[in-house]
Structure 1
Amino acid sequence: MNFKEMIAKDLAAVLGEQLSYEDILNLIEKPKASDHGDYSFPVFSLSKIQRKAPNMIAEELSKDIDTTNYEQIIPMGGYINFFLKKSEVSNAVLNDVVSKKNHYGDSTLGQGKNVVIDMSSPNIAKPMSMGHLRSTVIGNSLAELADKVGYTPVKINHVGDWGTQFGKLIVAYKKWGDEAKVKENPISELLALYVHFHEEAEKYPELDDQAREWFKKLEDGDTEAIELWTWFREESLKEFQKVYDMLGIEFDSYNGEAFYNDKMQPVIDSLLEKELLVSDDGADIVNLEKYDLNPALIRKSDGATLYITRDLAAAMYRKENYDFDESIYVVGNEQSIHFKQLKAVLKEMGYEWSDDIKHIPFGLITSNGKKLSTRKGNVILLEEVLNEAINATQNIINEKNPTLENKEEVAHQVGVGAVVFHDLKNDRLNNFDFNLDHIIQFEGETGPYVQYTRSRCESILRKADWIAPTSEANYSLSDDESWEVVKALYNFPSKVQEAYRKYEPSVVAKYVIDLAQKFNKYYSKTKILEDNSQKDARLALVYSVSVVLKEGLRLLGIQSPDNM
């Protein structure tokens, strides 16, 4: 059931060739005020055609439209306002949700095609900080949305396990490291060494030369370098897994940068063969002037490769192995030039599928307005934040509902969910300042507020002992409060598709806040459990809200407890 299409067809039937069906469909909008109807059609574009004032056109046209599908059609200024039949629409929408349950909003847009999602990708030997949260949770939500609209997502954790930073770390460890300390507390010790290296390198620039030498040894297979690198990598992955377990996120691949070591030479050979590689002061570059981009540096003068060399190899490997319809990189906004260069080089190599590569950028998380930096030691550890959120939520539960069963499990779901929701409710490209006290509140536009609203729905259903029937029933409602909720429920499938189309999980996050607010307003004004002819329909509405809130939160990577 698509109401815009229905209205467009009814308008097209009376407008004839004055406007195309597509033009009519694109002009239909939702009025800001509910007393102006559920949809409206601006007639201003018809003024030139009919040579009449818009209000006159609206007046005349509204009389010719078939009213079968509407409670009323009212002209207002230069608009025709359509009021849908509440009882019929509510019956159709609620039956749809009740029958489809968590599959409400599913679609086959993706036709099973693969979408590769490069996400999270922390650097080995550094802790996962709040700076890693965005790529991780945005990428995970996009994977859930892709699956919901019919794609097959492939989540790749392209861990940063290669590059000159390992040369720096090896130098730091050999100069100042203590094996016993590293074994006891690997990540914090390695981070301290990394920070110390940068502090010392500012005074002694020759340290950077030593780091480059050690990275070259690593690339050349030096035994000592490989042993240290392997140790750093294994310890780091164990630490990362703790955070992923807390977030409930899994990956299809952990192939990081090192995986592509033996796959870079074929890329360089191909660039040479296609006469795209140009020597510049001993380094190898690809000229990208025609794309209005700086040259892509493929290989340094000392023979060392760079991020883009490995990303070229990775892109080609992923196309060959996954035959992706889209390859999405959920990486910070500051890397936009890098991805423009990556696409341009692939385009120059003759790969038309380079158009299917999408950089999905995002803004920064700041703390007290300041950017977080591992290099300077200004870092907020993600695991610590998640634990703090869980503990703070536990305290709230102990205060508000001390007899709640499974308090620890609920505190985990709500605390972690609060952190994730706060990230995803912000438009992806916006920066935001992180404040734990604000995000764990059970009131306001927060994850706990949405989770608590769904828990309220479940509580009502338990009191009523209501179980969703397996066959169609009469769920007709016509009051204004339920109508706002029904319209919100109807919008869920289109919001899911919009969120994926824009690669913007905040569309779903804002949607579930809106649905929760509308339901709570309905709850405050309606005696849901009152015994009368519409009780079953009201309970179907409550059930539908619970289903859609739970599914909306799931698409954000957030669990929703039945009881809070």
Structure 2
Amino acid sequence: MIPRSRLFQVELGISLVPQRQKDGAGRKVRGEGREFLISDWFAIHFRDRVSQLSRVLDLPPENLIKSISAVPISKKEEVADFQLSVHSVLECSNGHSKPDIQVQARRLAEKLKCDTVVSEISTGPGTVNFKINRELLTKTVLQQVFEDGINYGLKSELFSGLPQKKVVVEFSSPNVAKKFHVGHLRSTIIGNFIANLKEALGHQVTRINYFGDWGMQFGLLGTGFQLFGYEEKLQSNPLQHLFEVYVQVNKEAADDENVEKSAREFFHQLEAGDKQALSLWQKFRDLSIKEYVQIYKRLGVHFDEYSGESFYREKSREVLRLLDKKGLLQRTKKGTAVIDLSGKGDPSLSCTVMRSNGTSLYATRDLAAAIDRMNKYNFDSMIYVTDKGQQNHFQQVFQILKLMGFEWAERCRHIPFGVVQGMKTRRGDVTFLEDVINETRLRMLENMAFSKTSKELENPHETAERVGLAALIIQDFKGHLLSDYKFNWDRVFQSRGDTGVFLQYTHARLSSLEETFECGHLRNINATCLQDPQSISILQHLLRYDEVLFKSSQDLQPRHIVSYLITLSHLTAVAHKTLQIKGRLPEVAEARLHLFKAVRSVLANGMKLLGITPVSRM
């Protein structure tokens, strides 16, 4: 990505500061009433010039850099390439007088004049706008895309000085002995995106899948299997059979207190380390994980550590002892152990950490897991990705960690997400993830059957699944993660709308272009062949990629990248119709081919960050 600080170096008049300043060489900065040049944006000594500018404005260089942004493209008119936010600059000017923003923007623009780099200077609402020499813009953008490759946008000065951190991301976390429900899809793909983005930014990321493999549900399941289970069914279709057992035992427990009592006793035996109970539990766990791994493989998701609540059944006792030692543990009349989070004895603001029979709870095991991970990874940040229904739970866990004296609790963060409504397969209402993936593949195969190119695919099922998963992911990532949304199969699979199918189609079409026409050397392209409105719009949009990545890195929302890629695909669709390659002069064809190749590269980079595997044919 072209560094912001290399785009233009503006020496501002002293009207913005109380007194005359000197640059690093001791020379006086030119004052009001003079014209100031926008220096060569590729100047070798730019960082020195930014330092000069920061002294003139009395603000840190990084603040100036972040005041410069690419101008969003417009379908109705040609726009400038970059804008300097005068409001942002003045905001950082340490209390100096702030005259009318628009007046100040005009004054500033009048002090600047065009040069070989900047061909036009204008003002917008609170901004000074710069239009870059078109040939220079073309060559520089394309060169940067091809030189940086998968790191395009990540080398931007927006990320300069970013410390490399140790990040733990806990996501997916299905409940063992239950089929992978579609409700866990969001946690899986969101957590995968966050881990991908953090890794791309150079952080050391540890991906943890924290299974729900402990708790009272295993008391019910253990009792249920003893009553209704069949070993041969367990081996042939483990999760389906365990699901059926779990449903049946819950019905029995609702009508028969003895069944519920047996379930509590079975879990108590598990906590006490009973060999027979543990052996049955271990079998359930092993069979479940084996099936889950196959699902993750299809999703293209991997983990560095498979963990689970069961790992902390012993350490949760240590947590209880530590809580008791610090005087935080309180006993209720029912015999449960709670932590008062109100500080005033308000029972409604307490967190239960132990049942009356001495067994642990979800919160207790989460406390033990957090402490263990800090000891193991010494993380700078730990991110939990779960639905918004668990917001209160994590607030309580983080608060208890603070009460225990662990200052690093401030480094823990919960990323909540909303509920998906209406994701049902044609088979019925119970929606398991495997069924949804199979349905996705089937629907894509049906759609691809109408395409002539689908007959040429070596593995149409694999392609259909990748395109289908892209459709699911883009549908999920288009809005704010915290929002609920209603799933619509027909809308998701539209090939011309703002969908994952459209992104894959664009990538495949551009890949086909590269296969048909070979690219020569970038240094041989004639930049004057890419001065049409469609080419310029694409180049301007490519300039914005680092800003989009920066936004997502700040709030961990994938929607910024999704919106960017969809716009890029629409721009490309228009350009593909008007910028013909076949039958054109060699230099024109070569230039357009490099433009489309740059688009495909950035499109693929963004899709991979989102967890999508781009396809070359469909």
TM > 0.5 between the two? yes
The aligned residue for residue 40 of structure 2 is none
Per-residue CA shift, 1:123-147, capped at 9, x if unaligned?
0111012111001111111111111
Alignment of 1:264-303 (within 5 A): 264-281=316-333, 282-289=335-342, 294-303=349-358
Contact 1:413/1:561 (8 A) holds in 2: yes
Match of 1:201 among 239, 242, 253: 253
Structure 1 residue 242: deviation in Å?
1.9
Contact 2:13/2:111 (8 A) holds in 1: no
Per-residue CA shift, 1:313-347, capped at 9, x if unaligned?
11111111111111110111000011111111111
Q: Secondary structure at the match of 1:157?
A: strand
Greater alpha carbon shift after TM alignment, 314-323 vs 472-481: 472-481
Q: Secondary structure at the match of 2:168?
A: strand
Q: Is 2:284 the counterpart of 1:224?
A: no
Give me the whole-angstrom Cα distance separating, in 2, the residues matched to 1:289 and 1:409: 54
Q: Is 2:449 the counterpart of 1:398?
A: yes
Structure 1 residue 3: deviation in Å?
7.1
The aligned residue for residue 171 of structure 1 is 223
Give me the whole-angstrom Cα distance separating, in 1, the residues matched to 2:171 and 2:85: 43
Give me the whole-angstrom Cα distance separating, in 2, the residues matched to 1:306 and 1:472: 67
Structure 1 residue 118: deviation in Å?
0.6
Give me the whole-angstrom Cα distance separating, in 1, the residues matched to 2:98 and 2:549: 41
Per-residue CA shift, 1:258-307, capped at 9, x if unaligned?
11122222222222222222222222222211599822212122101011
Contact 1:95/1:475 (8 A) holds in 2: no
Match of 1:341 among 396, 416, 419: 396
Give me the whole-angstrom Cα distance separating, in 1, the residues matched to 2:365 and 2:511: 50
Give me the whole-angstrom Cα distance separating, in 1, the residues matched to 2:228 and 2:497: 49
Structure 1 residue 7: deviation in Å?
7.7
Q: Is 2:425 the counterpart of 1:425?
A: no
Structure 1 residue 472: deviation in Å?
8.8
Per-residue CA shift, 1:437-481, capped at 9, x if unaligned?
332332211112111111111222222211565x79664633221
Give me the whole-angstrom Cα distance separating, in 2, the residues matched to 1:160 and 1:43: 52
Give me the whole-angstrom Cα distance separating, in 2, the residues matched to 1:77 and 1:99: 35
The aligned residue for residue 523 of structure 1 is 576
Alignment of 1:63-462 (within 5 A): 63-68=110-115, 69-75=117-123, 79-107=127-155, 111-205=163-257, 207-281=259-333, 282-289=335-342, 294-367=349-422, 379-400=430-451, 401-406=453-458, 407-462=460-515
Match of 1:544 among 582, 594, 598: 598
Q: Secondary structure at the match of 2:349?
A: coil
Per-residue CA shift, 1:134-168, capped at 9, x if unaligned?
01111111111111001121111101110000011
Greater alpha carbon shift after TM alignment, 549-558 vs 60-69: 60-69
Per-residue CA shift, 1:485-507, capped at 9, x if unaligned?
11221222332232232111222
Give me the whole-angstrom Cα distance separating, in 2, the residues matched to 1:326 and 1:78: 37
Structure 1 residue 558: deviation in Å?
1.1
Alignment of 1:459-538 (within 5 A): 459-467=512-520, 469=522, 475=527, 477-529=530-582, 530-531=584-585, 533-538=587-592
- What amino acid maps onto 1:539 in structure 2? L
Match of 1:37 among 77, 80, 83: 80
- What amino acid maps onto 2:512 in structure 1? S
Contact 2:511/2:600 (8 A) holds in 1: yes
Contact 2:353/2:363 (8 A) holds in 1: yes
Q: 1:84 to 1:305 in 2, by over 3 A?
A: same
Give me the whole-angstrom Cα distance separating, in 2, the residues matched to 1:319 and 1:473: 53
Contact 1:158/1:256 (8 A) holds in 2: yes
The aligned residue for residue 555 of structure 1 is 609
Give me the whole-angstrom Cα distance separating, in 2, the residues matched to 1:105 and 1:51: 33
The aligned residue for residue 21 of structure 2 is none
Contact 1:106/1:150 (8 A) holds in 2: no
Q: 1:123 to 1:339 in 2, by over 3 A?
A: same
Greater alpha carbon shift after TM alignment, 224-233 vs 67-76: 67-76
Give me the whole-angstrom Cα distance separating, in 2, the residues matched to 1:192 and 1:97: 53
Contact 2:73/2:540 (8 A) holds in 1: no
- What amino acid maps onto 1:437 in structure 2? D
Give me the whole-angstrom Cα distance separating, in 2, the residues matched to 1:150 and 1:405: 36
Give me the whole-angstrom Cα distance separating, in 2, the residues matched to 1:290 and 1:90: 63
Contact 1:495/1:511 (8 A) holds in 2: yes
Give me the whole-angstrom Cα distance separating, in 1, the residues matched to 2:98 and 2:227: 84
Q: Secondary structure at the match of 1:403?
A: helix
Alignment of 1:19-38 (within 5 A): 21=59, 30=71, 33=74, 34-35=77-78, 37-38=80-81
Structure 1 residue 393: deviation in Å?
1.6
TM-score by length of 1: 0.90
Give me the whole-angstrom Cα distance separating, in 2, the residues matched to 1:515 and 1:7: 22
Alignment of 1:11-26 (within 5 A): 12-13=12-13, 15-17=15-17, 21=59
Q: 1:519 to 1:326 in 2, by over 3 A?
A: same
Per-residue CA shift, 1:14-51, capped at 9, x if unaligned?
65327654676666664675545334456679899889
Greater relative contact order: 1 or 2 (C-alpha under 8 angstroms, separation 6 or more)? 1
Q: 1:212 to 1:57 in 2, by over 3 A?
A: same
Contact 2:466/2:615 (8 A) holds in 1: yes
Q: 1:119 to 1:58 in 2, by over 3 A?
A: closer
Q: 1:427 to 1:188 in 2, by over 3 A?
A: same
Contact 1:12/1:24 (8 A) holds in 2: no
Give me the whole-angstrom Cα distance separating, in 2, the residues matched to 1:419 and 1:31: 27
The aligned residue for residue 23 of structure 2 is none
- What amino acid maps onto 2:476 in structure 1? D
- What amino acid maps onto 1:97 in structure 2? V
Contact 1:474/1:537 (8 A) holds in 2: yes
Give me the whole-angstrom Cα distance separating, in 1, the residues matched to 2:301 and 2:470: 12
| CA-atom RMSD in angstroms | 3.0
Q: 1:475 to 1:209 in 2, by over 3 A?
A: farther
The aligned residue for residue 10 of structure 2 is 10
The aligned residue for residue 28 of structure 2 is none
Give me the whole-angstrom Cα distance separating, in 1, the residues matched to 2:315 and 2:96: 62
Give me the whole-angstrom Cα distance separating, in 1, the residues matched to 2:524 and 2:206: 37
Greater alpha carbon shift after TM alignment, 483-492 vs 353-362: 483-492
Structure 1 residue 76: deviation in Å?
5.3
- What amino acid maps onto 1:73 in structure 2? I
Q: Secondary structure at the match of 1:127?
A: coil
- What amino acid maps onto 1:547 in structure 2? S
Q: 1:197 to 1:12 in 2, by over 3 A?
A: farther
Per-residue CA shift, 1:337-392, capped at 9, x if unaligned?
11111111111111111111110111111117x9x9xxxx9530111111121122
Gaps of 5+ in 1: none
Give me the whole-angstrom Cα distance separating, in 2, the residues matched to 1:505 and 1:350: 34
